[in-house]
Structure 1
Amino acid sequence: MNKEFIISTLLIVCFSVKAEIVPKPQEVIDSKNLTITEMSINDSSPIDYNTVQTSGCDIVTYTSFSPKGITTSPAQSIPASQWLCMFDTDTYKNGYDTGSYPEKISFNKKTKLWEVRQTGISFKGSSTYVKLKLYNIQSPNSSGFAVVDENINKHDQVLYRDKDLKKLIHFCMIHDIYALCGTGNLTTRINNKDVDLTSNALKSLETIRLKNQIH
């Protein structure tokens, strides 16, 4: 059996022991077609690490599960255009709410889970509204949510510099009083074909470890 395949499989199993994604992604990742890399997020990362609100997230590590043939940095397995370290109180308070959708993502204090709630807002986009896809994520030392948003408008296309933008991911992972949040484009091009990174991004979020000063 291929040695690289064995190592890849063991890494996935090990990270699954103390981690969980609810609901599980529909697409199963084929470990034979992955490049698995240990990553860290700090001041020298290729992606902007914004610690203006707080630097309490310290150095963050995770495992990147990138499709072989991807032309961007392995860090794009979690396709964040910017990492943002925040206080958990703001994350619990704000969740994910655009202010223009009939849905938002909020934290349920009783169940300790993130959930989709109705806002009563009428969607005024140019296309039919697509329901948000929410995932509750537990990593080895943090928990949080990821939401997939397919309601793309012209502002998004300009912001992410992609006229063919199809879907975005927004996420926050919380450890102690700190939250690491980010947002980014969930598709990339490999061999002139669109590749959906949703399952890869979720699997990587499942491995996040925040190494802050509170233990």
Structure 2
Amino acid sequence: MQNSLVFMTILFFSNTTLCAITPEITNPDKFNENIYIVKHLSANRGYSPSLGSDCGDITLKDFNPKIYRSQKNKTNNPIYQGITLQYCSIEKEAKSNGYVAGMLLPEKIYFDNNDKIWKNRIKKMSAHDIIASQKLYGVKNINELKAINIYNIESVNASGYAIIDYNITKEEQRSNIKKKLSFCLFSNTEAFCGSGSMIYLFDGKEVDFTNYVLKSLETVEITPLLN
């Protein structure tokens, strides 16, 4: 009995310390780790599988406060949309591509094989890419673009990155997007990725959901399909 208790204690301790967000974040307003909705995702029912990949079943905890989840706009649709694009990709390809949405930004997201973490570095852009970037984001000078923030995520049984991006394309600006979060979590040969807008207007006040979503990503568990 004593050995069983020791084993259970070690198991519980390892599960609670495995999940992490680096750098650390401040818990969002009204955050309660004991209040959440469990979301179950599967191919074509929560995420889109890419050719040759299927992440199987995915579960995570949605920590967004109920008061925000229930409010709707004038067209009776939920105000908060959160991660609107979710897909499964091949791990090798997703790692190699890095932050695809930021290809026209002067930064490169890459996995440092020595430190085993995701990092960003300044990259040299061609004259063609600079012009394309200026048109895409509606800026006169590439220096007007803002630096992106990167977080390393360790979830229940996956690891990867989350990107916070304030660089909004002209098309996104028309949809009142002000801040984006993109992520990829890797488990075995698959990569669970997604993106969405993080700032929404409730009763005339902007609410930022970034840290709620980061905390949710920390709880992602991927159960691969059995062959």
The reply to whether TM is greater than 0.5 is yes
Residue identity over aligned pairs, in percent, reads 27
User: In structure 1, what is the equivalent of residue 170 of structure 2?
Assistant: 154
Distance 1:131 1:66, change over 3 A: same
TM-score of the aligned structures, taking structure 1 as reference length: 0.79
Instruction: Give the deviation of 1:52 after TM superposition.
Output: 3.2
Instruction: Give the deviation of 1:182 after TM superposition.
Output: 0.5
Instruction: Give the deviation of 1:44 after TM superposition.
Output: 6.8
User: In structure 1, what is the equivalent of residue 99 of structure 2?
Assistant: 96
Q: Deviations 1:65-90 (Å, cap 9, x if unpaired)?
A: 012311469x9989221211111101
**Segment drifting more, 111-120 vs 124-133:** 124-133
Asked whether the 8 Å contact 1:80–1:185 carries over to 2, the reply is yes
Q: State the one-letter code of the partner of 1:144.
A: G
Asked whether the 8 Å contact 2:98–2:109 carries over to 1, the reply is yes
| Superposition map of 1:11-160 within 5 A | 16-31=16-31, 36-43=36-43, 45=45, 47=46, 49-71=47-69, 79-97=82-100, 98-121=102-125, 124=134, 125-127=137-139, 128-157=144-173
Asked whether the 8 Å contact 2:184–2:194 carries over to 1, the reply is yes
2:211 counterpart of 1:199 = yes
Distance 1:167 1:61, change over 3 A: same
Q: Name the count of aligned residue pairs.
A: 196
Instruction: Give the deviation of 1:152 after TM superposition.
Output: 0.5
Instruction: Give the deviation of 1:43 after TM superposition.
Output: 4.8
Q: Secondary structure at the match of 1:81?
A: strand
Q: Deviations 1:120-152 (Å, cap 9, x if unpaired)?
A: 225634342111000000001000000011001
| Distance in 2, Cα, partners of 1:77 & 1:210 | 25
Greater helix content: 2
Q: State the one-letter code of the partner of 2:159.
A: S
Asked whether the 8 Å contact 1:33–1:67 carries over to 2, the reply is no
**Segment drifting more, 196-205 vs 21-30:** 21-30
User: Over the residues paired in the alignment, what is the CA RMSD in angstroms?
Assistant: 3.0
Distance 1:93 1:44, change over 3 A: closer
| Distance in 2, Cα, partners of 1:78 & 1:212 | 27
Distance 1:189 1:172, change over 3 A: same
TM-score of the aligned structures, taking structure 2 as reference length: 0.75
Unaligned 5+ runs, structure 2: 1-12, 72-77
User: In structure 2, what is the equivalent of residue 209 of structure 1?
Assistant: 221
Larger Rg: 2
**Segment drifting more, 166-175 vs 16-25:** 16-25
Distance 1:86 1:44, change over 3 A: closer
Residue 181 of structure 2, aligned match among 152, 169, 173: 169
Q: State the one-letter code of the partner of 2:160.
A: G
Q: State the one-letter code of the partner of 2:202.
A: I
Instruction: Give the deviation of 1:189 after TM superposition.
Output: 2.7
Asked whether the 8 Å contact 2:157–2:220 carries over to 1, the reply is yes
